[in-house]
Structure 1
């Protein structure tokens, strides 16, 4: 007769996400995961597979908790540019704030640490960035149609620029103790929407 799991897999996945986010993939050993999750190594493998599979599931969990809010923020009815501006300022604020800047964004962290040598991570990062770009592009197309964005502005190019700015402020925010660096860059990028 099969034994029932003596732990909550969702809670364990959340704990793994927390550890990977704090330490990164390479610096987190299976022994670290076993200790942090409080479950046996065999249970980790039986439930989640390899460390890499667990990492990929943690990345998915991270995105599940953030993507809906992003869509809601950028597709609210009414004027579109306030949502875009708020998003850029929120990313810059998180990148500059002492309590959130060191952890950064798990997707950005994954891109910097693993994407160059891990095709599965690279593809997941790309999909996440494509999603953000699509949301920004849709908002900027709507803004131009509503007369908020000048007709000579290219919504696709602006969406791509803002995506790069968002990722850049996350990277620079982790390494710099100067909040003005990321906030000034974000505000300068937003002038392109005027």
Structure 2
């Protein structure tokens, strides 16, 4: 007879996600994972497969959580400019108790060149981010907040690239105020 799980799968997956986010894939050992997740090695294998499969599930979990958070930010915003500013603030300052940077960006930098599954997940996430920016820019163009001199898709590519750079730089000792100034210039370039 199979034993019932003695842990909440989503809670331990969140713990693994944060550990991978903080340390990266290569630096995170199975011992680190079982200790941080508070489960036995056998439970990790039975529930999530191997370390690589757990990592891919952690990437999916991260994307879903961030998507939910950013969708809420957009819905609460009264203007497209406000939505962009709040998203930028979220990307620079993050959430309390979360590692700096972005698991997707970190993973792309660390692994995408040699891991097709990580590359695919990162690229898919980046495509969704660009679409989010495009939707916000189109909103701003319709409302007269943002310039219509450029295609919304091209402006979205620019904003996404700026944000990827910001997410990388948040992992350094560079002052957040400097990053915010850089982001604000990108938003001002969109405005009429």
1:95-132 CA-to-partner distances (Å, cap 9, x unmatched) read xx9976x6311111111111111111111111111111
Listed as ranges, the matches of 1:84-99 within 5 Å are: 84-94=84-94
**Counterpart of 2:187?**
190
**Counterpart of 1:109?**
106
Q: For 1:139, which of 136, 153, 160 is the aligned residue? A: 136
**Counterpart of 2:118?**
121
**Counterpart of 1:175?**
172
Deviation at 1:59, TM superposition (A): 1.3
Q: d(CA) in 1 for partners of 2:176 and 2:96?
A: 9
1:12-56 CA-to-partner distances (Å, cap 9, x unmatched) read 212211221221110111121122222221111111001000011
Q: Against the structure 1 CA distance between its residues 6 and 77, is the aligned structure 2 distance closer, same or farther, given a 3 Å change threshold?
A: closer
Q: d(CA) in 2 for partners of 1:120 and 1:4?
A: 31
**Counterpart of 1:30?**
30
Q: d(CA) in 1 for partners of 2:35 and 2:78?
A: 49
**Corresponding residue SS for 1:3:** coil
**Corresponding residue SS for 1:25:** coil
Q: Is residue 154 of structure 1 aligned with residue 151 of structure 2?
A: yes
Q: d(CA) in 2 for partners of 1:103 and 1:87?
A: 15
**Counterpart of 2:2?**
2
Which segment is superposed worse, 35-44 or 117-126? 35-44
**Counterpart of 1:71?**
71
Question: Residue 74 of structure 1 contacts residue 135 of structure 1 at CA under 8 Å; is this kept in 2?
Answer: no
The TM-score, its normalising length taken from structure 2, stands at 0.89
